[in-house]
Amino acid sequence: MTRAYSLLSGLCAQALAANAPPSKAGMARISVAYATYAPKGRGLAALGLGGLLLAGCAQQSSGPGAGPASVPEAQKPAATRSVGVLLPLSGANAPLGRELLAGAEMALAMQPVQGTPGVQLKVDAHDTAAPGGAAEAAAAAVRAGDSVLIGPLTSGDTAEAAPAAQAGRVPVLALTSDVTQARPGIWVMGITPEDQVQRLVEQARQEGRKRFAALLPDNPLGRAMGNGLQVACRDQGLAEPVISYHSSAPDSVTDALKQLSGINSNGASLPAGVAGAAPDTQAQPLPADLATALGQAGNEAASAPASVPGGNVSNGVAGMSASGQSIAPPSLPFDALLLGDTGLPLKTVMTALNDMQVSLPAVRIMGPGLWAAFASKLGPIRGAWYAAPNPSARQGFVARFSAQYQHAPKPLVDLTYDAAGAIRTLTDEGAKDFPPKLLTRPAGFQGVDGAFVLLPDGRVRRALAVFEVIGSGADARMIATAPTNVAPRVAPASSAVKAPAGGA
């Protein structure tokens, strides 16, 4: 399926004001062309768009003696660049795909901040749900001469689309949050677990925390957060973190926490740094975008605990184990602990933390942005942090989108708007093409949820705020706003303190 939208400059303001037809030199219509096809039996889809968009144009002027060659620069035909958008436009995910497409269209149709851009943009949409999937959609976009690709939506589709895009030297702004898909020329636009961990480590460093550990579920999200903690500590010149992975069984959680704390099953101290095997770097990619989960994780709330038997972790009171035995607090080898569980498994983790008296002020507990969906029920870990976009940052975008489409946008629409907005920004500043050198500019771009910068290795660093759980049924409070400068802060290799390899 292919949709092509030509977003060209409109009728000049002077002609409109005079209620007269514009001159030929100053007129360009915005045409909307829609064509869709599907193999027999798959059905035919159609999306109606009404109206013409009008953009101002410079008034043509001429004077005595002006020859035919003296055409003002503003009146010369503008170059056109097509932006390929790879989304599911048929099948079960078609409604989401069309909404994501609308976000890209909305950003590309924005009027330039100053003057008229030298390059006009058109949207060339390709259906990743059609036969051939994302691979054929990307190949079709390359054949059509698209200058940059927005999408695909998922990690799997991104892997399929990447070879054709890289062979054609066409940049890809993918919507997945699976950082394993990041590589030069393929950017991961989703809000990744790694980016959240980077922000949390940065904030904890400012608080004076220097020794990081992680108690994480042995699943794709947990592995991504563990890898992110290793990268964050290395980037910020900290000792290598100790990471322990656990299953959902209570005994597994307790044993993993004891290993991190330097205690064996008998309660005797273990040598420092003992925590088991290193993380599996070949873990499967995330099955779903974290950006989607941030907006749709409400079902987790029903399973999150309102309280934990044995006392409140955050008040420092001695806890009781499941057997009713008090466990003396050990001298912990870490002062910041990263968690990754949600729902019922998180209740098990909080019980173990209470039994081991792992709490403030000795330890700063941190977790995933998924906690935002049920932060009011996390009283047992009052004082814990998570990193996420500031909800108020997107209010203006929500209002504009709602006014145009009569409903609020889904969270994932932020990503297509941001990707298209970056292209729009470069075009308004005079860019005629979009090579990696321009896309990875240190100044980055301003997005719906805050600033973001594209890194040369395909990662996208986003400005995230930090929130603190306050319990008592109240929502978390923002304790640190999103930074305005999101360029990576990498410590010199010589400054990184090496610790014995650890992890579970």
- Cβ–Cβ < 8 Å for 423, 403: no
In degrees and rounded to multiples of 5, residue 353 shows phi and psi of -65, -40
pLDDT of residue 487: 64
**CA dist., res. 179 & res. 58, Å (int):** 45
Would you say the CATH fold of 193-389+464-495 matches that of 2-61+74-175+392-448? yes
**What is the CATH code of the structural domain delimited by 193-389+464-495?**
3.40.50.2300
**CA dist., res. 256 & res. 250, Å (int):** 10
Whole-number CA gyration radius for the chain: 26
pLDDT of residue 493: 35
- Cβ–Cβ < 8 Å for 263, 328: no
- Architecture of the domain delimited by 2-61+74-175+392-448: 3-Layer(aba) Sandwich (3.40)
Query: How many other CB atoms are there within 10 angstroms of residue 160's CB atom?
Result: 20
pLDDT of residue 113: 57
pLDDT of residue 117: 56
In the predicted model, residues of the chain with pLDDT beneath 70 are 1-78, 111-118, 263-330, 487-504
pLDDT of residue 473: 87
Place of tokens 């360029």: 487
Q: Taking the complete model, does pTM exceed 0.75, yes or no? A: no
pLDDT of residue 76: 52
In sequence order, which residues have a C-beta less than 8 Å from that of residue 228 and are 6 or more positions away? 179, 192, 193, 194, 195, 196, 197, 198
pLDDT of residue 289: 42
Give the 3-state secondary structure of 15-41.
HHHCCCCCCCCCCCCCEEEEECCCCCC
Q: Locate the domains of the chain by residue range.
A: 2-61+74-175+392-448, 193-389+464-495
In sequence order, which residues have a C-beta less than 8 Å from that of residue 77 and are 6 or more positions away? none
In three-state secondary structure terms, 158 is helix
Residue type, 6: S
